Chain A
Amino acid sequence: MSELLKVPTMEEYMAQGKQPEILFWVGSAGSFDDRAKKITKAFVKILNKANVDFAVLGTEESCTGDIAKRAGNEFLFQMQAVTNIEILNAYEVKKIVTCDPHSFNCLKNEYPELGGQYEVVHHTQFIDDLIASGRLKVEGDLYNGKKITFHDPCYLGRANSEYDAPRNVLKHTKANIVEMKRHKRTALCCGAGGAQMFKEPEKGDMDVNVLRTEDALETKPNIIATGCPYCNTMMTDGVKAKEKESEVEVLDVAELIAKTLGL
């Protein structure tokens, strides 16, 4: 499969004197985390399928600094931001797409004040646009009759008020979309945000991801759909904790579309 992936870098584009339509910001999780890499690849397959002219920074990309900022380390965040902005501006990047809502929020809202002005979209928004503009036709019955519940990532939903794009995209899987009691602006966090992903939780009665998984399991879904690599890990762990991994799958919206397309 992998030899089919076309992933050009900005450096290559530059060498040819061309500009891609969009920069794909892969992010640290998307580059290194085994589970998240699958999401990255699924999204690339969609981009390839729709003939989107995109490029990645590759080894020139570095952590956005988002986690450091939320952990309170503004120095480290700004060092990362300034370094990244220097590269992005050198390549004259105009539009960025990313599968990570944390990078999305950080690039979109926190980079401008440090000199990085870009149009930033989340991959669910980008796929939604591809479908709406007719560049991507999603046909396939893989999920016809299946039940999917979507877990809103905090940094896409509440943080940036985007609730519709992932749901619009999911409709094209022909699955039955069911909502959890807490959804959209009242959606419960998966427990990974604010640098929690990288530390043990404080003492309490239970873990946040288990509570959120209970919300999801209440809808009796076949699939829990996510739009964030960290949410994906947390929900996958939650499903394991509830011993439901044989019945319920946790998949990113991009993966669901790629699979529907048979990619």
Chain B
Amino acid sequence: MEYLPNIIFAIALILGFGYFTKNVKKLVRNIKLGQDVDVSDNKSERFKNMARIALGQSKMVRRPVSGFLHVIVYLGFIIINIEVLEIIIDGLFGTHRIFSSIGPLYGVLIGVFEVLAVLVFVSVTIFWIRRNIIKIKRFWKSEMTSWPKNDGNFILYFEMVLMTLFLVMNATDVHFQAMNSGNVISQFIAPLFSGLPESTLHIIERGAWWLHILGILVFLNYLYFSKHLHILLAFPNTYYGKIKPKGQVNNLEAVTKEVKMMMDPNADPFAAPSEGEDEDVPAKFGASDVQDLNWVQLLSAYTCTECGRCTSACPANLTGKKLSPRKIMMDTRDRLEEVGKNIDANNGEFKDDGKQLLGDYITNEELWACTTCNACVEECPVSIDPLSIILEMRRYLVMEQSAAPTELNTMMTNIENNGAPWPYNQMDRLNWVKE
């Protein structure tokens, strides 16, 4: 019986990490449904981007208020987690504050944690006020109802509760308060519990300790179902993010092959493919569903934390059009999850469900409203490129379905026939000199 708490703790830990691992595997499997893309180049530049943008939060602070508060929560999250290590060791071995043996440094550490806990609590409260009282526009766009809206608040409540539990745990820890080192904040909370017998205090302290660690495990497993995955995926996403100039749209190799063939006067269009030449089915041009996108785009969909900075800078969205770059990312993730569940339900194989990203999630109207201005790409604090998805889907519409708006078809016919988007003769190109 003596070891019962240790055993329960170990089981909780195994369940917590086990379920999380299971979901991470699913996440990786889903991301790998995307097309291959070569991102093995420029390793040092990619590392620098990750260090600067994810680790260094360089793009977060461009909006100073939310950026500053976010840095506090981010630092708090990383630093306070050192405490979790102690909790795990204590829980498994039945020790109490095992690290306190390191001497005065322990007090310094806990002191820092306590201050950070308060700062995180305050920051998260301000975040909540921005979302729910001030009602900052980007949190109230049409894609931010139901689950996405609740998700954002749940995360904030989680953090408030975890920080409170941490401070209560310290405040009711009689030994820790007696040490009088590091209890910089909790010494002011302790009086709230004065007058309670030591045994009751112990029960509260144990209760807070257990709820704190169980809360962390629950939060860890909440990630997969939430927009909050960014705390992990921001790192790979900024590493694999675009490093070419923002204006450069990728080249479609499959098209290059066909164009070269058409332009080559010696090519025999009826020739049978020579030995060894790939005889696979002609590539599908553009994307109509998530499997047509590349895996970095799918990783980005899971990375998006729905902050809406992209949408708040999008000229189409600002002028009341349906396009929202954030919704493009959310739709991609939702559809990818749907495809993933379909695969789970059908013994590892995707069964056509009559749905796709194009049409069932993202409409033509949204896609055609984009000005390709790169404002969304510029804004994203974690290097997501919603524009690349929009363009892939336009490619599908135009090259597979011939479904461009009529005026664009006219424009393209003009380019094809006379080398200009207007119906002018190429032979008149130099007329301006004489006019």
Contacts and interface: CB of A to CB of B under 8 A. Distances in A.
B389 to A, nearest CB: 12
Most buried by B among A67, A74, A207: A74
Interface of B: 244-249, 251-252, 255-256, 258-260, 262-263, 285-286, 313, 315-316, 318-323, 365, 368-375, 377-378, 391, 393-399, 404-405, 407-408, 410-412, 415-416, 419-422, 424, 426-435
B421 to A, nearest CB: 6
Contact of A72 (B258, B374, B391, B433): B391
B373 A154 contact: yes
A188 interface: yes
B255 A74 contact: yes
B319 A208 contact: yes
B249 A72 contact: no
Interface in A4-48: 5, 7, 9, 26, 28, 30-33, 37, 40-41
B136 to A, nearest CB: 17
Interface in A157-172: 158-161
B259 A78 contact: yes
Interface string A200-220: 111111111001100000000
B320 A159 contact: no
Contacts of B313: 186
Most buried by B among A191, A192, A202: A202
A150 B336 CA distance: 42
Interface stretch (A53-61, A89-97, A140-148, A242-250): A53-61
A114 B256 contact: yes
B415 A72 contact: no
Given A200-B407, A206-B320, 14 more contacts: A61-B429, A70-B394, A72-B286, A74-B252, A109-B248, A154-B374, A161-B245, A185-B378, A188-B318, A195-B411, A199-B408, A202-B322, A202-B369, A203-B322
Given A58-B430, A189-B373, A193-B372, A75 B399 contact: yes
B422 A32 contact: yes
B420 A159 contact: no
Given A63-B420, A114-B256, A155 B412 contact: no
B188 to A, nearest CB: 43
Contact of A71 (B322, B374, B394, B427): B394
A105 interface: yes
A26 B429 contact: yes
B433 A110 contact: no
B256 A78 contact: yes
Nearest to A6: B433
Contacts of A211: 315, 318-319
Contacts of A186: 313, 375, 378
Contacts of B248: 105, 109-110, 159
A82 B251 CA distance: 13
A108 B368 CA distance: 25
A144 to B, nearest CB: 31
B415 A105 contact: no
Contact of B435 (A37, A56, A73, A114): A37
A80 interface: yes
Contacts of B247: 105, 109, 154-155, 158-160
B412 A158 contact: no
A198 B321 contact: no
B373 A7 contact: no
A175 interface: no
A33 B256 CA distance: 31
A193 B371 contact: yes
A40 B431 CA distance: 12
B256 A158 contact: no
Nearest to B366: A202
B375 A188 contact: yes
B82 to A, nearest CB: 37
Contact of B397 (A67, A72, A108): A72
A71 B249 contact: no
A110 B263 contact: no
B398 A31 contact: no
A73 B398 contact: yes
B396 to A, nearest CB: 8
Given A70-B249, A202-B316, A9 B430 contact: yes
A82 B255 CA distance: 12
A212 B285 CA distance: 34
B333 to A, nearest CB: 23
B378 to A, nearest CB: 5
A180 B13 CA distance: 55
A31 B368 CA distance: 27
A122 B81 CA distance: 51
B119 to A, nearest CB: 29
Contacts of A75: 255, 258-259, 399
Given A68-B415, A105-B247, A114-B251, A205 B320 contact: yes
Closest 10 CB pairs of A and B: A159-B247, A205-B320, A72-B394, A62-B419, A194-B372, A204-B320, A189-B373, A72-B398, A109-B248, A105-B247
Given A109-B248, A193-B372, A202-B368, A2 B435 contact: yes
Given A79-B259, A193-B371, A7 B430 contact: yes
Contact of B365 (A154, A202, A205): A202
Contacts of B419: 28, 61-63, 80
